[in-house]
Amino acid sequence: MVAQQQTEDKVTPGSSRKRDRTVIRDDDDNDNEEEFEMETTTTEKTKKEEIKPSEKSKEVLFSPELLSMYYSRLFPYHLLHSWLSYNPSNLNKSITNPLFSHREFSFTIERVPGEEIYLRYQSFPSEIELSNAIRKRRPVKIDIGAIFSHPPKDSKTVASSSFTPSQRELVFDVDLTDYDPVRGCGCQGATICRTCWTYMTMAVKVMDVGLKEDFGFKHVAWFYSGRRGVHAWVCDGMARGLTDEGRSAVATYFEIPMASDKNKSAGLAHPLHPMLRRSYGILEPMFIQHVLPAAGHGLLATEEQWTKLLSTLPPAASSVADWLLKKWNGDDCDSTPEEKWIELKRRLLQFRQNESESKHRNKKKLSSSDSIRIEQWPIETVFKYSYPRLDINVSKMRNHLLKSPFCVHPKTGRVCIPINVSQVEQFDPFDVPTLPMLMKELDEYDGEEEEGRKKVQHAWQKTSLRESFEHFEKAFLGPMWKELRKEKREEAEERAAYAGDF
């Protein structure tokens, strides 16, 4: 039986548009019939993808055959299962875990090019059931949702008032498309290059420190989205237990009000919040290195660009802009963008001091509000170009889905690998392995002589995925498991003390 209706809904989590939704019965499974929703969408012609560094234009990066090979040989089911189970004492792949079995997964399946079948409220009692379903369905996209009061697969048999999210990692999504107004490298939309990728580096550095130092979170995992962004998963028990209101409070903590053409009165509070003062200290050196020069976004690289920037100075400092324009446009000016930035800040400071101390009878003193605006202009400028631009709605709701780590982006064929935060400045999205690269690495490894070669437990250890996956296991899962074991031990000791068995 097929029922079709026109509705306003989400084609993928986080976006909204009208499309045909067809509800059909899927009889592929040998066990129970499963009702699912088929979303018929027209796939847009891929825009010019990324890529300023040259790549083989005719290489097939993503196909059902490549994806099937990845799911059967390389997908780290054990890493995903052991992470989302939050129980290091019970990591058996065939045993039901109460948290894992109540976790929502969604699959996006493309059986016919351009037509997507979107399966929500999937859940699996164990790692084996998850791996079997992924190998069978071969989803082009996997999303992960909340832990619910009941297994999501039973959602239609439970009263809606009883089916509620109980836990969810606090997640953050940063995407380069939100930086389009400040990308001076020539990229827009899905197109990226190494120059604009530095915005993601800046976002990770600011957010990671803020989450750990200001909120005390310890277990923060960062992942490459596979195309043009990064995702953060905050996995501490306190973070997973946050209400929607609590999540919203944490997310909005990282938002900043910035003045714009439409709202010139908006701006940073004075005095500056300590978090923002710290963020400025992190961002300004990167702003100088990556945003100002011609090799970056060129903000102070040409006469046109510095004229445009100086025009954004507060009106009270127009004399500073005039003086610098005259000097920088002179034939004998050969200062670098960094030197221009330093000189600009120095001139603004001198102007504020001189105007505040002026004793000239006929000269009006600089008002307090103007002085503050001039003082904060360099900070607001750095933030305008480099402060994290979050998709805040992703963070606010427990039942919001986010792309699963370790899956493959269908537009690039790249794996959503973990990012080593301590080396985030060295992370290059163009070095992330693609499916063809991984298949080639497997073939080369398997074709080598086995003598003297160290045995590996997982096939992905034969490929360039090894470094990032092992770092995730050792640097993220290891400390989290250690803390969870400690909590379990303390709970057991407390129960024993109450029972008189201690």
154: CB partners within 8 A, 6+ apart? none
Beta strands (DSSP E) in 315-446 are: 402-403, 418-419
Strand pairing report for 34-40 and 17-26: antiparallel
CA distance 324 to 310: 8
Residue 59 near residue 134, CB atoms below 8 Å: no
Counting Cα atoms < 13 Å in the Cβ hemisphere of 362 gives 0
Long-range contacts formed by 494-502: CB under 8 A, 24+ apart? none
Whether 493 is a known active-site residue: answer no
Set 39, 143, 173, 355: catalytic member: 173
Beta strands (DSSP E) in 164-214 are: 165-167, 170-175
CA distance 122 to 149: 14
Whether 175 is a known active-site residue: answer yes
Set 116, 127, 169, 175: catalytic member: 175
Counting Cα atoms < 13 Å in the Cβ hemisphere of 260 gives 8
CA distance 384 to 259: 9
- AA letter at 261: D
CA distance 235 to 258: 30
Annotated catalytic residues are: 104, 173, 175
